[in-house]
């Protein structure tokens, strides 16, 4: 009787055991899926956004491992750090900045290396300066891939002219590190001047961060240089992405609006309140990324804050002729370009 009773209990318990086993297996499978995101991707997202590791992991899982979508997901959830952190990349090297003698055109190039040790190599410095001089002589709208086909007088291992692409390859063979010409850009004005600035220079025209500012005016270069240098220093420090509000691509505005709208929706506030919030946040965003809308940083201790656009207007009155900022270039080793950030 006892044996039969125990057998009956086992039979009745079997479905329960099977259910528990199925639940445990399902949990284990879900747990495995949760940890399927590579740790390297999680770390990369954390480095780019400054967000907690688990939030980065959840973002990547929600976005199927897509880095760009995951960054937007974090921002919509209000988790990601300020957009300034998103543009960071881990790259070393040098930036070179050169002007034509008449200061009507200027060029800036970025040559990357893996370590600062190679960037300090005199051969590396010479190559980045030589490449910059070539960029001065080419068309303003030439992209970097076409520019690599242009020639320099010599390379690290060549005594005769070689293509820029070959010269960079020779540098790789010379220093034993991967080197890459990442950006090569040019600014021009028909009247006025181009002003250059190198932050913490490592030579006359090379450093880690270079700025060019194009000032259009009937004033001479000599009259414009002092103001232009201050403006270039501001650009180096404030890191604007666009010259004026009108220069912002519509896609970038829509992307920011979508992020702000998602943040407002999560707050539970009425739609009309959310739309006013979006307008206010877009204005604040303009003040962060648009040169003319930024607070001017080069001010005295007791001076009132001014917008860059007001400082330009004031300089025009002081110098007696209109001054227009046609454009600027700011390149820092390893930074993401404004064009890429706006995608």
Instruction: State the pLDDT at residue 175.
Output: 87
Mean pLDDT of 170-184: 91
Tell me, what's the pLDDT at 32? Answer: 39
CA-to-CA separations, 207 to 116, 146, 191, 204, 211, in angstroms, rounded: 11, 25, 28, 9, 11
pLDDT-based confidence at 14, cuts 50/70/90?
low
When mean pLDDT is compared across 170-174, 198-202, 227-231, 318-322, the lowest value belongs to 170-174
Average pLDDT, the chain: 85
Q: Which pLDDT band, with edges at 50, 70 and 90, does 334 fall under?
A: confident
Mean pLDDT, range 70-78, rounded to an integer: 77
Provide the b/e sequence for 308-336 (b: ≥16 CB within 10 Å): bbebbeebbeebeeebebbbbbbbbbbbb
- Residue 99: C-alpha distances to residues 126, 213, 294, 333 (Å): 16, 11, 27, 20
Residue with tokens 């001065």: 136
Residue 210 has pLDDT above 70, yes or no: yes
Across 187-207, average pLDDT: 96
Q: What are phi and psi of 242, to 5 degrees?
A: -135, 155
**Per-residue pLDDT, 222:** 96
Under a CB-based contact definition with an 8 Å cutoff, are residues 327 and 216 in contact?
A: no
Tally of residues, the chain = 343
- 67 contacts: CB under 8 Å, gap ≥ 6: 41, 44, 45, 48, 60
- Name the least confident of 5-14, 127-136, 320-329: 5-14
Nearest to 51 by CA among 30, 75, 34: 75
Taking a C-beta distance cutoff of 8 angstroms, is the pair 326, 105 a contact?
Answer: no
Domains in the chain (CATH in brackets) are 32-86 (1.10.8.10), 92-243+321-341 (3.30.479.20)
Residue 343 has pLDDT above 70, yes or no: no
Note whether 161 and 151 are within 8 A (CB).
yes
């Amino acid at each position: 009787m006892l044996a039969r009773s125990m057998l009956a209990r086992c039979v009745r318990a079997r479905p329960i055991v099977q259910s528990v086993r199925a639940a445990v297996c399902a949990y284990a499978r879900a747990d495995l899926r949760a940890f399927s995101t590579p740790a390297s991707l999680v770390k990369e997202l954390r480095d780019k956004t400054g967000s907690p590791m688990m939030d980065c992991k959840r973002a990547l899982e929600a976005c199927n491992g897509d880095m760009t979508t995951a960054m937007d997901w974090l921002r919509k959830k209000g988790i990601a750090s300020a957009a300034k952190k998103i543009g960071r990349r881990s790259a070393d090297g040098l930036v070179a900045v050169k002007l034509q003698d008449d200061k009507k055109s200027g060029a800036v190039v970025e040559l990357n290396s893996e370590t600062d040790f190679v960037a300090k190599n005199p051969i590396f410095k010479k190559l980045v300066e030589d490449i910059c001089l070539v960029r001065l002589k080419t068309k303003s709208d030439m992209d970097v891939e076409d520019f690599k086909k242009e020639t320099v007088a010599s390379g690290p291992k060549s005594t005769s002219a070689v293509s820029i692409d070959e010269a960079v390859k020779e540098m790789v063979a010379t220093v034993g590190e991967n080197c890459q010409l990442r950006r090569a850009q040019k600014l021009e004005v028909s009247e006025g001047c181009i002003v250059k600035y190198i932050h913490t220079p490592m030579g006359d025209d090379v450093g880690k961060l270079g700025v060019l500012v194009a000032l259009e005016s009937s004033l001479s270069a000599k009259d414009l240089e002092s103001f232009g240098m201050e403006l270039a220093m501001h650009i180096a420090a404030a890191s604007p992405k666009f010259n004026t509000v009108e220069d912002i691509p519509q896609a970038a505005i829509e992307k920011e609006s979508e992020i702000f709208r998602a943040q407002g929706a999560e707050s539970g506030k009425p739609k009309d309140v959310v739309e006013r919030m979006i307008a206010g946040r877009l204005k604040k965003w303009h003040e962060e990324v648009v040169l003319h809308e930024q607070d001017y940083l080069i001010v005295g201790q007791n001076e009132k804050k001014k917008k860059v656009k007001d400082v330009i207007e004031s300089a025009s009155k002081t110098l007696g002729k209109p001054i227009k900022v046609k454009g600027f270039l700011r390149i820092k080793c390893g930074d993401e370009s404004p064009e890429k950030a706006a995608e």
